[in-house]
Structure 1
């Protein structure tokens, strides 16, 4: 007996609680995107009728069928379950951690100079930077990307890693590991080049530019083609944009907290908005077919 469609729902409707109810009841089912809808399949028409009845009575799930823990615990799988479906996200974070250990949080300049945008050497209290022309002449093209792996201090590493985990696995789940890899490289390139063009030779690094790229990508993609994976809490988007504006005021340099690569953030955000615009338009076009 072939599977039948039990119900259809808009893409922006969260079926998590309802699907949890079906799992609690032991109902075999499958949810897939079809056009501009979510489609829930079940084994036969008899089960489909029961599912429709349950959905009409409790579209957010029947609380009486739920386990005795909170809805947040039900809806969110554990770390190991998330990690299993996010290998590329974990690989990038592992590589970032490895670089942090090799460079000792940015304090090991002998190791860090091989990953900076341009080479440099330290003589006494002074640091001397090479030129981008030397990067080209020596064929050290990896320098266009590797600054995104450099971090300066534990807090810098921790904050960027947490945000990459949150945003990266969303894209990996929605568009696949290859797309996340391509986007990460593109955002890293855009951020690093923007910072060098704006600020000139300097020691900068971190995943921040990539993170703003991921944010811009999810933001515009979700706006054009709504989907559960890219639906970020409004406060996340607003707070990150406000943080960007605060950093651009130069207040942290004035308070001697260190320089911030604002151009990298802006470059990554613009690159992310561009891919989100293109990807969202394409996804919306496919949904309408």
Structure 2
């Protein structure tokens, strides 16, 4: 992280930070020694930040219409490459998800799905036979606690999840760092998968939706707990996800042809993200003093 600017006591950084995120400038507001400070992740974006700050100081109302040359150039020519460099774990996760989708044919190849499901299974005479978690653990197949997150069963399913991981996950990785972000994703995925299996008792489920809900919860809660955190998830978007979570418990998704939804994974993912948000806030709270 690179220090850019110390705000005066009378200056509210909210408008500037919203404009920076609008232009895909990864940054963080840190409260230190009685002042808010602006820190930048990628120093190559400093010219764009300086242009936006000039506009912000002259007339904050013009920020949303501003198009700094360096930001436009980065977005149009190197946006994807920049994302790959700044969010490598997010990129790897998405590539693995796409690879699994291809080799399982989006769940159509049931034999291959069995390599990634939370429990190995056999289908005989129309009946499915599988193991409980204790047996999976005793067999040493620990990867199964995570890999259901890589399984997807429709184009809409994988597109929805990967787009949110690319957007929200990429931003969080740039802020938190790859190690912390990776640990959080693994925790959310494992908790979502394990409890989904324990409650449903059925191994054929999958998707990154639990992780998406976890990241949404984490990203929404941190600005509530700490003013130094950028607002990534708006209140309206959070309401949408909570409403959709509730709809998942109704027959409506199946009526739309979306199939059965792993509601427990979604709920546990959201709760895990909120809890991790509190833990992270408590662990880093000293930075504000």
TM-score exceeds 0.5: yes
Tell me the residue number matched to 2:101: 100
Q: Deviations over 1:26-83 (max 9, x none)?
A: xxxx997452512489xxxxxxxxx999765334568998569xxx968967333333
Tell me the residue number matched to 2:237: 236
CA distance in structure 1 between the partners assigned to 2:193 and 2:64 by the alignment: 50
CA distance in structure 1 between the partners assigned to 2:168 and 2:204 by the alignment: 26
Tell me the residue number matched to 1:144: 145
Larger radius of gyration: 1
* TM-score, length basis structure 1: 0.78
TM-aligned CA distance change 1:73 to 1:189, over 3 Å: same
Residue 226 of structure 1, CA deviation: 3.0
Tell me the residue number matched to 1:12: 14
Tell me the residue number matched to 1:187: 188
- Over the aligned positions, Cα root-mean-square deviation in angstroms equals 3.6
Residue 240 of structure 1, CA deviation: 0.8
* TM-score, length basis structure 2: 0.78
Tell me the residue number matched to 1:79: 80
> SS of the counterpart of 1:127?
strand
1:214 paired with 2:215, answer yes
Residue 230 of structure 1, CA deviation: 4.0
CA distance in structure 1 between the partners assigned to 2:99 and 2:85 by the alignment: 20
TM-aligned CA distance change 1:76 to 1:225, over 3 Å: farther
Contact 2:17 2:230 in 1 (8 A): no
CA distance in structure 2 between the partners assigned to 1:223 and 1:79 by the alignment: 30
1:239-278 aligned within 5 A? 239-253=240-254, 257-278=258-279
CA distance in structure 2 between the partners assigned to 1:75 and 1:16 by the alignment: 18
Residue 128 of structure 1, CA deviation: 2.1
* Range moving further from structure 2, 274-283 or 52-61: 52-61
CA distance in structure 2 between the partners assigned to 1:285 and 1:136 by the alignment: 38
TM-aligned CA distance change 1:55 to 1:107, over 3 Å: closer
CA distance in structure 2 between the partners assigned to 1:186 and 1:92 by the alignment: 14
Tell me the residue number matched to 2:159: 158
